[in-house]
Homo-oligomer: A and B are copies of this chain.
Amino acid sequence: MTTTPTPLTGVVPPVCTPLTPEREVDTASLIRLVDHLIEGGVDGLFVLGSSSEAAYLTDDQRRTVIETVVGHVGGQLPVLAGAIDMATPRVLDHVRSVTGAGADGVVVTAPFYTRTHPAEVARHFRLIAQRSPVPVFAYDLPASVHSKLPAELTLELAAEGVLAGLKDSSGDEGNFREVVLGARTRPEVSGFSVLTGAETTVDGALAMGADGVVPGLGNVDPAGYARLYRHCREGDWARARVEQERLCGLFGMVRVGDPGRMGGSSSALGAFKAALALRGVIACAATAEPQVPLSSGEVERVGKFLAGAGLL
- The residues of A with any CB-CB pair to B shorter than 8 Å are 23, 50, 55-59, 61, 84, 86-90, 92-93, 111-117, 119-121, 123-124, 127, 143-146, 171-174, 177-178, 181, 198-201, 203-205, 207-208, 237, 241, 245, 248, 259-266, 288-292
Residue in B59, B124, B177 whose beta carbon sits within 8 Å of that of A290 in the complex: B124
Instruction: Assess the A199–B181 pair: CB atoms within 8 A.
Output: no
Which of B178, B201, B263 meets A177, CB within 8 Å?
B201
Beta-carbon contact of B290 and A127 below 8 Å: yes
- With a CB–CB cut-off of 8 A, which chain B residues contact A124? 289-290
Cβ–Cβ contact A261 & B119, under 8 A = yes
Q: 10 closest A-B pairs (Cβ-Cβ)?
A: A204-B204, A117-B263, A123-B290, A55-B86, A124-B290, A115-B264, A56-B87, A88-B289, A120-B290, A174-B200
Each complex incorporates copies of this chain amounting to: 4
| C-alpha spacing A295/B117, complex, angstroms | 16
Asked whether A263 lies within 8 Å of B58 as measured between CB atoms, the reply is no
Assembly CA distance A58 to B85 (angstroms): 10
Query: Which listed residue (B93, B113, B117, B290) contacts A84, Cβ 8 A?
Result: B113
Judge whether A90 and B120 touch: CB under 8 Å: no
Contact in complex: A93, B58 (CB < 8 Å): yes
CB distance from A291 to the nearest CB of B (A): 6
- Chain B residues within an 8 Å CB radius of A111: 55, 290
Find the B residue at minimum CB distance from A90.
Answer: B58
- Bound together, the chains give a CA A89 to CA B61 distance in angstroms of 10
CB-based contact B245/A57 at 8 Å: no
Given A203-B207, A245-B181: A113 and B112 within 8 A (CB)?
yes
CB-CB < 8 A to A113: which residues of B? Answer: 50, 55, 84, 112-113, 144-145
Pick from B204, B261, B265: contact of A201, CB under 8 Å: B204
Whole-angstrom distance between the alpha carbons of A8 and B25 in the complex? 39
- How many angstroms from the CA of A135 to the CA of B149 in the assembled complex? 39
Residues of chain B contacted by A263 (CB below 8 angstroms): 114-117, 120
Nearest-CB distance from A122 to chain B (Å)?
Answer: 8
In the bound assembly, the distance between CA atoms of A265 and B93 in angstroms comes to 22
Q: Least Cβ distance of A51 to chain B in Å?
A: 11
On chain B, the residues within 8 Å of A199 by CB distance are 174
**Which of A114, A260, A290 has the largest number of chain B CB atoms within 10 A?**
A290
